[in-house]
Structure formats: C-alpha cells, structure tokens
Amino acid sequence: MKIVTTKTMKEMDRIAMEEYHIPGVVLMEHAAMAVKKHVDLVADKNKHIVILCGPGNNGGDGFALARLLKQDGYEQVMIFCNVPFEKMSHDEKIYAAIAGSYHIPIYQSEDLKEVKKMFASADIVIDALFGTGLSRNIEGFYDQLILTLNTMHKYVISIDIASGINGDSGAIMGCGIQATKTVSLVCYKPGNVMYPGSAYCGDVVVEDIAMPQEIIAKSNGNEVMDDDLIASFLPKRQAHSNKGSYGKALMIGGSMRMHGALAMCAKAALSSGIGTLTIALPSSIHAIMAGKMEECMLLPLSDEDGYFSEKSAEELKDQLDLFDFVTIGNGMGRGKGANALVELVLKSNLPCILDGDALYLVGKHPEWLKRKAPTILTPHPKEMSYLSARKLDDVLNDPMEVVQTFLKGYGNITLIYKNEHTIVCNKAFSYMNLAGNNALAKGGSGDVLCGMLCGLYGQSKDALKSACCAVYVHARCADELIKAKDYNAILAKDIIEESSHIYKELRNRQ
C-alpha cells in the first residue's frame, strides 16, 4: 500500500483515463462502490443519508454514491449541493443528471438554520465536498456548513479525504470536516495520515477503484510499512555464523545527567541482535554502567564535570578502526567534548547512526554530513529543524518537502523523521509507518529506537531496511503493549522486552 501526493494521484488518474482509456466515470463509479461498502457496514436501508457534494469530482463521487444507494433500496437518500449545474466538473454533471433521473432530492440552501435541521435528521453524512482538488482556504458558506456539521457529532464518512484538509501536508485549510471514517481512494494521501489532518479523517481505510495495478506500482510515493514488508526486510540469522557476522558496534554517549538514555539504547541494541557492542562513555559513569550492563564492553573516555571532555576524541581516534560502525548521541550533551566526538566519527569512513544531541551538534556543522559512508539520522521535528535550518513550523507543516529538500544536499544519508507517523527515506525510497501510539511519546522511547536500529543495522548493514525494521518493530511493540497496559504505564524498557515477541512474529513470516 502506498501514500501518494495529490499531484501523483492526479497523474495516476490521468494515465488511467488517457493511456489506459478508462473513462473517468468508470473510476468514479468504483469510488462510489467502495464508499457504499462502508455505508452498508453501518446503515440499514431506512436510515437517513445526507450526501454533501462540492464542485469537483469528489462531489461527483457523492452523486454516484447517491445513485448506488437508491438502486440498492436505501429509502432516504438526499443530496446537499450548492453548486450550479454549469459549474460542476464534467463527470460530476453526468452523475448529477443521473441522480436527478432517479428523483433523488437535491437540496440547495445558504440558510444555516435549514442546514442544521437537515443535519439533525441525518443518520449518516457523506462528505463529498472537496477531495484532492482543494486549492485554497475554505471560506464563506462552506466554512459555516462545516463548522455546523462538526458541532452535531454525526457519523460522517469522508470520501478520499476530510474536506478542508490539505491532501499533501495534513494542514487545515481554514476549517475541516470532522469525519468518523475516511475512505481514501487507491492510496493513502499524506494529508489523511499526518497530523492534524489525521485527527480530522477519523479511521482511514484505503479502497481500490479499479486503478490498474501497473499504474500504482510505477507511481512515486511512500510505501506504507506492514508486517509482510518488514518481515522481508528483517535480517536473517544463519546457522553458520558467529558474533562477527552480526556487527561490531561502537556506541558513544551518556553523561552523569543522562546515563539512562545510553543504557536503554544499549539494551535495545543487545535485544535486537547486535554481534558485539562496545560503549564509549565519560569515565564518571563507568561504574554505573558497569552495574547495569553485562553483555557489552565499556570504553571509558576522559570526563569533565560528568560529560565527555575535549580530550576524549583524541583518546578514541586510534580505536575507531576496531569497529564496523558507530552509534553516537544518546544522552551525551552538547558540550565541546561531544562536539569533538561527533566530528571525529563523521570524518571517519565508518557508517554512522546519529541520534539525540549528535543531531543538534551536526546541525551546526552540516558540512560534516558530506561523507561517502552510510549515515543514518533519526531526528524528531525539532531536530529536523536544526538539521535543515528550517523553522519548526515549516517542518511540521510539510515534513516531506523539508526532508526531501534536505536529502538533496547530501550523499549517502538515510533519514528517520520521527513523529506520530514516522517517515524513513533516502533520496530514492520513502516509507511511512502508521503503527504505534502515544505511549511512545515519552522520554527514552527514541533511545530505544536508536538501539534497535543499531542492532538491526549491525546485522544487515542495510541502512534503509534496518531503519524501516527498527521503526516498525518499535511501533508495533507499543501497539501490542496497549492491549494489556494503559498508555500511561508503558515505559521505554517495556518496548525492549516486547520486541522479542514482535521479532518472533515477523520472523515466522519469513
């Protein structure tokens, strides 16, 4: 399953119509059939269904749905449409004419009291006002209509995307319909899975509209992570192997204030299959970590006030060659010592995973990222803002644009943009994770993710696949944990424990 931008979706529609000679009304008919399935799930034939139709093909889907419902014996179907016939899209006109022939009532009004009455009588409201063609903020009567509907807490099914939501960014364009469910056509659109749009779209289901599979396969878009995809990415463990087969990792991080971040990262790496793990840490936390960690080696470096001192990079320099790759950043702080270590690591030829404070530090020296070795960055929105030197609002409003523009400037970078729906991408491929929940919105869960990534990268040495596996398994753990525990009570360490079950489940699919 893919997530495609509205531009790509329009291009797919064009190819279907012009190159595959599928008339637009055929696609529209299938769109209506797909939505009807979801009406059938919740409505009896005597329920009162109000379909709001706008000026474009989204409205056309609404008119087509009205015919199908009527045809199937739904007794109380009505359309609300304030668009004059001559201003409708070409295919919408066809279905509007058909709806007229079926004597489906088409109601038109700009009187809010009347509209409120109409909504009050509805059991289900279908939102076919705007789809991927929304091009400007919603104002005037549509704004009033939407706000009125939202106050009435009706069961609302949006077609393609909740009207008012920007299909590409999820931003609210003036106002947005609060849908119970959204039937997204052919693919997900970024706007129906990304906040705040996701909160308006309700439960999102993707339905086929007889779009040729070839067109979908060739389209540009984020692949959505699922069990089968991630099982195929999960590194295999061979009978004839030894610890050297699964990666020699150097993990650099920690400070007197934040040794927990490092410990969780290390534990997650160990539980995610790393061959050997050596932790470079400020000497002041050596004893603490030695008490916590048994399966890894410790490499204390010189310390100043509980943080790495500037000398620590010099001490580590000659030892870097002993390792296959480095993970750096967790709990290390942003001082001069940490800065020197990030510089040392990025100027080496080793593959490198950067997390936490290392992302902040490299944001001040983006030239360090111009390197050939694989580099995996794991920013949350604020860290993405440091890295890209863009405003936090820009990142939040259109992360895909910010991330892709950022990647263009560098070579071998894989980026994990962490958020409610995390994106994993490099210049050529892009994946989105829709699993997970707000139990992960707690200090420490990012450290666990970084550790999982370390363990998986060590095994496969494939940046993109290991990043996808780490993100997905991490999120699936949270989804599994909330079945038995409350969101409040799930701790980062629980994710590490749960990961064993999720790895096993995915491995059984291999």
Ligand X SMILES: NC(=O)C1=CN([C@@H]2O[C@H](COP(=O)(O)OP(=O)(O)OC[C@H]3O[C@@H](n4cnc5c(N)ncnc54)[C@H](O)[C@@H]3O)[C@@H](O)[C@H]2O)[C@@H](O)CC1
* Host H or E run for residue 318: none
Query: Binding mask 358-397 vs ligand ADP (x if CB under 6 A, - otherwise)?
Result: ----------------------x-----------------
**Position among 28, 66, 183, 326 found at the interface with ligand X (CB under 6 A):** 28
Nearer to K ion, 57 or 466 (CB): 57
In angstroms, how far is the first alpha carbon of the chain from the final one?
19
* Residue 13 engages ligand X in binding (rule: CB under 6 A): yes
With CB under 6 A as the contact rule, the residue among 54, 379, 455, 458 that binds ligand X is 54
**Euclidean distance between CA atoms 485 and 280, whole angstroms:** 35
60 is in an annotated binding site: yes
Interface residue with ligand ADP, options 449, 456, 464, 506 (CB under 6 A) = 449
By CB under 6 A, the residues from 131 to 190 that bind ligand X are 131-138, 142, 159-160, 185
**Stretch 159-178: interaction string toward K ion, x if CB under 5 A:** x---x---------------
Angle at which helices 112-121 and 140-151 cross, to 10°: 40
Q: Can you tell me the distance from the alpha carbon of 317 to that of 344, in angstroms, rounded to the nearest whole number?
A: 7
According to the annotation, is 261 in a ligand binding site?
Answer: yes
**Number of residues forming the site for ligand ADP (CB under 6 A):** 17
**Of 13, 29, 92, 127, which one interacts with K ion (CB under 5 A)?**
127
- Single out the segment in contact with ligand ADP by CB under 6 A; choices: 30-38, 167-175, 431-439, 502-510: 431-439
Rounded Cα gap, residues 189 and 39, in angstroms:
21
∠ Cα 436 441 444 (to 5°): 105
- Residue 77: in which H helix or E strand, if any? strand 76-80
How far apart are CB 158 and K ion at their closest, in Å?
4
Residue whose CB is less far from ligand ADP, 254 or 446: 446
Residue owning tokens 């991408």: 425
Cβ burial, residue 92 (10 Å; 0-12/13-18/19+)? buried
363: helix, coil or strand?
Answer: helix
Q: At what angle are helices 24-42 and 57-71 packed, to 10 degrees?
A: 60
208 is an annotated ligand-binding site residue = no
Closest separation in Å from C-beta 69 to ligand ADP: 36
Cis ω on the peptide bond leading into residue 379 (within 30° of 0)? Answer: no
**According to CB under 6 A, which residues from 12 to 51 bind ligand ADP?**
none
**Tally of CB atoms within 10 A around 342:** 28
DSSP-H helix ranges across 102-164: 112-121, 140-151
Task: Find which of ligand ADP, ligand X, K ion, none residue 209 binds, CB within 5 to 8 Å per kind.
Answer: ligand X
Stretch that binds ligand ADP, among 184-192, 211-219, 308-316, 414-422 (CB under 6 A): 414-422
57 known ligand binder: yes
Residue 8 interacts with K ion (CB under 5 A): yes or no:
no
Taking CB under 6 A as the criterion, which residues in 238-297 touch ligand ADP?
none
Whose Cβ is closer to ligand X: residue 23's or residue 443's? 23
- Degrees, nearest 5: CA angle 1-207-64: 150
Q: Does 219 count as an annotated binding residue?
A: no
Are the beta carbons of 106 and 85 closer than 8 angstroms? Answer: no
Q: By C-alpha distance, which of 460, 462, 465 is closest to 229?
A: 465
The residues that touch ligand ADP, with contacts defined as CB under 6 A, are: 380, 418-420, 422, 436-438, 440-441, 443-447, 449, 474
Binding site for ligand X (CB under 6 A): 13, 24, 27-28, 31, 54-61, 89, 130-138, 142, 159-160, 185, 209
